[in-house]
Chain A
C-alpha cells in the first residue's frame, strides 16, 4: 500500500478510547527522502508501546509526528482523538515529549526551567510549585535547586527533561531513549516512574535500544527499519508469529546490577529501593 494523502478523521471516526494514539498509513517525507512509509499502530490508555529499530529507522520522526512537531506528509495521526494535521497545538498540549538530546537552558535552575514549561502548559501557580517540588524530590534533584543546570551531569539533565515532559499530566508520553545517559540506579528509578505513569492511565510510546528494559516495560512492541514497521504485537504474539520456541537461559542471581545497587545503598549513596 502506498502513502495516501494526509487526512483528518471525521467526528466519531476515531476507533478506540480518546486518550490514545492512532496512527494509520503515516508517511513522512523530507524533500525526496521518505523517512516514514505507511506506518500504522495504535496505543490505548494505560498501555506502553516500545518501538525498536536500528539508527535511522524512523523512530524519532515517528515520535515527532505524534508530538505534533512534524506534520504527516500522508496518512492520519490522532492523539486523544485530535488529529495532528487538524490541530497540532491541541495535540502538543496533551503530549509530553522527551527527546533524545534533552537540551536544557544551561543558565537556569531546574525549578525555574520547569516553572517556565509549566506556565506554557497553563498550570496554576500553586499546582506548579507543588508538582515541581514533588518531582524534583522524587528524582533526588531537590538539593540542587539553586544551581544552574549547566553544571548538571547527562543523567541529571535527562531526569529534568523527563520531569518537564510529565509535569502537566500529559495523556500521552513520548520517550526517546529515556535512560540512555543514566546510571543503573537512575535508570531503574526512571523506569519505575514510567511504569507508575502507565498504570495511572497514560499511554506511553518509547523508542529505545535497551532490549532488557523493553522486555520489562513493553505491553506491545513495534520493530522498525527504513521507515517501515516490520513487525508489531505483544511479546507472545511476536513469538508465535515468528515461530520462535521459548528457551531457558541461566542467569546469575544476584546479577551485576544488584551488586552495584547493594554497594551504593550500603555506602549511603542511594536510598533502599526495590530490587525487582
Chain B
C-alpha cells in the first residue's frame, strides 16, 4: 500500500533515494542551526512564549475568579493552540530562504552539477525546514502543558491529539507552499513578497481553528488536519513537478513583452466562422471530454455522497446543534402549502447562482488544485444530508423529497459534472500529461468548456424546475 502510494506520489518524477534526501537535509539543518543569533532567538521564543502564555492564562483565570472554570479552560486550550503555531511559523521563513537564498549566494549551480536528483534536492530542503520547526513547536507544547499542569493543575487533554496533528499539517502546508515560492522566484526579496499568498489564507485557517476550539468543536480539527494534509501533499507534488534545474538556471533572455503577448493571445481567438465550422464535431468532442473525465466524475459523486452522509450523521448524532434549524423547519412545515410559483427573477437568480458556483470551481481550481470546488460540493451534500435528517426527525421525509427531488436530481448532476471538469483543471497542475504541462492544462480547460455544453443547460433546466415546478409539487405534499 505504502509503495503504491509512493509510486502515485512520485509519478513522472525520478524517485528520490532516502540517503541522499537525508544528506541534503542534514547539511541545510547544520547551516540553519549554525547561526547562533537565529538559533538563540528561535529556541528562546519557543520556551519564553509558552511560559508567558501559562502566566497569562493563570492570571486571567484568577482575575475572572471562581465559577468561571469553563472560560479558564477555554483560555488554556486556545493558549496551547497559539503556543504551537508561533514556532511553526519559523518554517515559513526558512522555507522561503531555501532556494532563493542559495540562488543569491551562487551555491545552487554547484548542487545542480552533482548526481543528485531534483526530487532529492527538493525533499531534502523540505525536511531541513520542517524538522526544526516541528521540534520547536512540540517542545513549546510540552513546556506549555507542563506549565499549565504545575500552575493550574489542568491538562488540555481533549485538544492535545488534534493539536499535534493539525500543527504537523499546518507546518507541512506552509513549508510546501513556501518552497514552491522559493524555487520559482529569482530573489529572496520577491520570495518574501510572494509569501503573502501563504500568510493570508493560513491566517484564515488559524482563525477558523481557534473558533472551533472556543466553540468546543475540537473534533472538527481532525477533519481540518486531514484536509490540510491533502493540500500539503498536493502542494509537495506540484512543487516537485515544477522544480527543474534547467528552468532555475536558465537566464531571462529578454524583458517580458506584454503587449506582444496580448496581441498574440487575441489573434489566437477563433472567429465566428471557425466556431460554426466546429459545430458538427461538437457531439464527438463532448463525448471525448466525458470519457477523459470519468474518474473525476466518480470522485465528485463520492464527495457529494460523503458530504450528504456526513451531514445526516452530524444531525442525528447532534454533533452540530440543529435546534435553530428545527425551529425554522417547524415554522415552514404548516405554511409550505402556501408557496407561490416562482418568477423570472427567481429563475434568473437560481440559474445565475449555480452558474457562478460552476465558474468559481474552475477559476479557483488551478490555485487550489480543485480543493475549493470539492469543499463546495461537500458543503452542498452536507446541507442536503443535514436538512434531510432534520425532516426525518419530524417524520416528514416526504415533504423534504418533494422540495428537493424535482430539481435536485438535475441540479446536483450538473454540479457534479461542473466540479469533475474543474477538478481535472486542478489535477493537471500536479499531474502533467505526457505531452507536457501546458498541453495537459489546455486539454483540461478545453474539456471544461466542452462539458459546459452539457452542464450549463442542465443548470438552466434545474433553475426552471426549482422556480416553477417544485413549488407546485410541494403544494401537493
Contacts and interface: CB of A to CB of B under 8 A. Distances in A.
Contacts of B196: none
Contacts of B27: 105, 108, 116
Given A69-B113, A92-B113, A104 B253 contact: no
A121 B115 CA distance: 7
Nearest to B120: A120
> Which bucket holds chain A's interface residue count?
20 to 34
A106 B113 contact: no
A107 B34 CA distance: 7
Contacts of A164: 110
A67 B114 CA distance: 9
B370 to A, nearest CB: 30
B29 to A, nearest CB: 12
A268 interface: no
B245 interface: yes
Contacts of B292: none
B435 interface: no
Contacts of A186: none
A89 B105 CA distance: 24
Contacts of B117: 89
B20 interface: yes
B329 to A, nearest CB: 62
B181 to A, nearest CB: 21
B253 A71 contact: no
A226 to B, nearest CB: 14
Given A69-B246, A70-B246, A117 B109 contact: no
Contact of A92 (B14, B107, B114): B114
A99 B114 CA distance: 12
Interface string B97-133: 0000010011111101111110000000000000000
B109 A116 contact: no
A116 B23 contact: yes
Interface string A29-73: 011110100000000000000000000000000001001111100
Contacts of B14: 89
Contacts of A79: none
Interface of A: 30-33, 35, 64, 67-71, 89-90, 92-93, 95, 97, 99, 101-108, 112, 116-117, 119-121, 161, 164
9 contacts: A31-B253, A35-B253, A70-B246, A89-B115, A97-B113, A103-B108, A108-B27, A120-B20, A121-B114
Given A69-B109, A89-B115, A97-B110, 5 more contacts: A30-B250, A70-B249, A107-B34, A108-B30, A120-B23
